[in-house]
Structure 1
Amino acid sequence: MKKYRDDEKALRMFSRVKDKFKGYPPFYYHYANRALKTGDKDLAKECFETFEELWRDILRPDPLMAAAAVAMLSFIDFNNEPQKAEKYIALAENNLRAEDDGILRFGLATAKAALGKNEDARILFQHNIDFDLAVSESQLALSNLKKDAPILEGIENQHYLTYEFEEKSDRKEQQKVVEEIKKMAEHGEAEAQFRLGKLYRDGVGVEKNKDQVYHWFRKSAEQDNADAQAALGKCYQEGLGIEKDEEQAVDWLRKAAEQGNADAQAALGFCYLEGLGVKEDEEQAVDWLRKASKQDNADAQAALGNCYLHGYCVEVDEEQAVDWLRKAAEQDNVDAQVALGKCYLEGLGVEKDEEQAIVWLRKAAEQDNAEGQVGLGEYLFRHCGKKEKIQYLISDVPLFSPSLLGVRESAHYLFYRDIKAVQEQAVDWFRKAAEQDNARGQWFLGQCYENALGVDKDDVEAFKWYEKAADQGNAEALRDLSRCYLNGIGVAKDKEKARELLSIAQKLGAEDAPKLPKKAQKPWWNPF
């Protein structure tokens, strides 16, 4: 209500000062818009007409005239005033710029359709879609045009299709939105069908239902909705509401990708990369990943970055790799954050910068990425004995200086305390990764328990984590598990079992596997 009162107050102000702006066209344009906001259509029409009378062609597109001309079209009876309609259509076309608001182009397109110029209307709607302007409205109008349905049918329901479901949203309002979306979907509106499929997939406003997910995505996809085609492709990939079928997945992903859907382009690139539902094709893989990357698809950017980093499908180009990885990492893609962290650690494509490495590894680790957690934990242990690095490795450690110790002893104590604090951080990260079944994280955690690094010594726990990692084929864990059986560390001695495990470790290429140590040795990253 306050906004409405403010509009009326502004309208009165326009009325008071209009005599001072008799020769100034923009005044009447803004006056007309304010009148529209208060619902005074007669005054709005009068002001737009005055604007037109005062306006002079400035030899370049004028966005005010484009908007005024589109607004005037709403006051015209197209059946009885076709020439007047043509006049304002021409004015709008001549002054509409490519970057202008898509709603103006949408209004112009609907006017074209009302005069039977469907191909012109189609081009304008498609322009909006291609340039990400008034997309949902333009897609629905284009669908109506193809079905020979009234061009504005369902447009008023766009509010429901763009409604943001939030925890704090009113339950009754949510139910109303879901019911309206269902009505539109059952009426055959492709965008509503896609949205309903998403609601059933995510369990938002309705109970999760895999069959309904597939049903509605399929209906929408069959009407050429690119988002639905991409989603349907993933249903076939994952077996969501339908049996897995990689070839069908590729078919639907390709349909969406060819319409410019970035998610589908990325997914299709992965299919070509891994030979899923299609023959492996490195050139096609990179082509689709690049298309998606240029549309800021983070998964594609991360994959393309790794391709350049390791020479998959393309020649190694570390600088390009870092460029793509950074773009993805800045969108919170955890795989890219881990890879970018390692680039900074090793100086690949970028100047070596260990502080930046820690920043990116920590970002990934804090998103619960196991590789990031292991990488961060490993780095903490590798460098926690170096005084010059301890300050940016440590976090949340309370300051303490024992006053009874001498300066030399106190400094030694503080440095030792900080090392222990960093070790404890590392153990926390290893544990998080280990609990996600990351084999390397499990092996590192076993090392910590065996050598009392950041935790109390516990051979039984060490054996448990070595065994978990070994079960996943981790060569180092197999080697250390063999040593546990040989020396009775956390388990009863069993030389036969030790030999068997050592043989497997050797085949998998474990470092130092040929010789069994007689006793537990401290890891290479132990600072003591």
Structure 2
Amino acid sequence: MRRLILIFAAWLAAANVAFADSARITWEWYNAAEVHQGRKVASPTDQKLAAHYFRLAADKGNIAAAYKLGEIYENGQGLAPDPVQAFSWYMKAAAGNDKHGQLKVGWCYQKGIAVTADPSIAAIWYRVAAENGNIWGYHMLAFMLADGEGMKKDVGLARRYLELSLPKTNDHWAKWKLAQLIEAVDPKRAKSLLKEASEAGNAQAAEELKRIDPKH
């Protein structure tokens, strides 16, 4: 029995070393991909090499690389654009608990990219992403709650999620939407948010600002 235990312990140690080596090499491929992708002027060759190394890592189970490969297929940089492949890799990343992949799966379901549009499923994935630490998940949920898209309309919760996400996203659309939600109770702050959004190039915010303050 002691001999069997020693043999099993030796096998387990070898397996752990092999797993560590496998995990390490996926990150070496991932880092190589980022080097090519991150060059100031990434040539078509750089983009293809980035896609190649991300695929090597993703095929070995690196979920961060799976997400990156999804982006490459979505944007057509290094590979021909392919929304079906993009969704497939985003889903693999999401299934591996990657918060960025989870957000993208939600986006695909909301917009009907490579799948039948289903805002209720989109909302589920946004919530999963948000609870996994992706602040943009709360941002997207806020808009859906404010408009009653894919879930019951809840202006109070929409406002709460925007208040939570806006300090980190600084998104001009979030400022525009939050201004709409608080205009009746806090017109001064609503005006300030619209001004900020307008200065960031949001044309709809500029129109809203003119409506409530013709001087602008």
Q: TM-score, normalised by structure 2?
A: 0.78
- Report the equivalent of 2:121: 248
Query: Which one has a bigger Cα radius of gyration?
Result: 1
Structure 1 vs Structure 2 CA RMSD? 2.4
Give runs of aligned pairs for residues 122-521 of structure 1, distance below 5 A.
Answer: 149=20, 152=24, 154-156=26-28, 157-158=30-31, 160-161=33-34, 163-164=37-38, 169-295=42-168, 296-309=170-183, 311=184, 315=185, 317-345=186-214, 353=215, 357=216
The answer to which structure has the higher helix fraction is 2
- Report the equivalent of 1:396: none
The one-letter code sitting in structure 2 at the alignment partner of 1:339 is: E
CA shift at 1:252, angstroms? Answer: 0.4
Contact (CA 8 Å) 2:195, 2:205: kept in 1 or not?
A: yes
The one-letter code sitting in structure 1 at the alignment partner of 2:113 is: L
Report percent identity of matched pairs: 25
**Higher RCO, 1 vs 2 (CA within 8 Å, ≥6 residues apart):** 2
CA shift at 1:159, angstroms? Answer: 5.1
The one-letter code sitting in structure 1 at the alignment partner of 2:50 is: V
The one-letter code sitting in structure 2 at the alignment partner of 1:305 is: A
CA shift at 1:237, angstroms? Answer: 0.9
The one-letter code sitting in structure 1 at the alignment partner of 2:181 is: C
Q: Structure 1, residues 397-445: CA drift from partner, whole Å, max 9, x if none?
A: xxxxxxxxxxxxxxxxxxxxxxxxxxxxxxxxxxxxxxxxxxxxxxxxx
Contact (CA 8 Å) 1:161, 1:191: kept in 2 or not?
A: no
The one-letter code sitting in structure 2 at the alignment partner of 1:235 is: C
How far apart in 2 are the matches of 1:276 and 1:213?
24
Contact (CA 8 Å) 2:155, 2:181: kept in 1 or not?
A: no
Contact (CA 8 Å) 2:74, 2:81: kept in 1 or not?
A: yes
How far apart in 2 are the matches of 1:241 and 1:165?
30
- Report the equivalent of 2:4: none
Q: For this pair of structures, how many residues does the alignment match?
A: 194
How far apart in 2 are the matches of 1:257 and 1:332?
27
1:334/1:187 CA distance change after superposition, 3 Å: farther
CA shift at 1:198, angstroms? Answer: 1.4
CA shift at 1:197, angstroms? Answer: 1.0
The one-letter code sitting in structure 1 at the alignment partner of 2:188 is: E
How far apart in 1 are the matches of 2:195 and 2:212?
10
Give runs of aligned pairs for residues 7-86 of structure 1, distance below 5 A.
Answer: none
How far apart in 2 are the matches of 1:169 and 1:263?
28
Unaligned runs of 5+ in 2: 1-18
CA shift at 1:259, angstroms? Answer: 2.8
SS in 2 for 1:338: helix
The one-letter code sitting in structure 2 at the alignment partner of 1:192 is: A
How far apart in 1 are the matches of 2:109 and 2:162?
20
How far apart in 2 are the matches of 1:207 and 1:152?
29
Contact (CA 8 Å) 1:266, 1:297: kept in 2 or not?
A: no
Q: TM-score, normalised by structure 1?
A: 0.34
How far apart in 2 are the matches of 1:192 and 1:287?
33
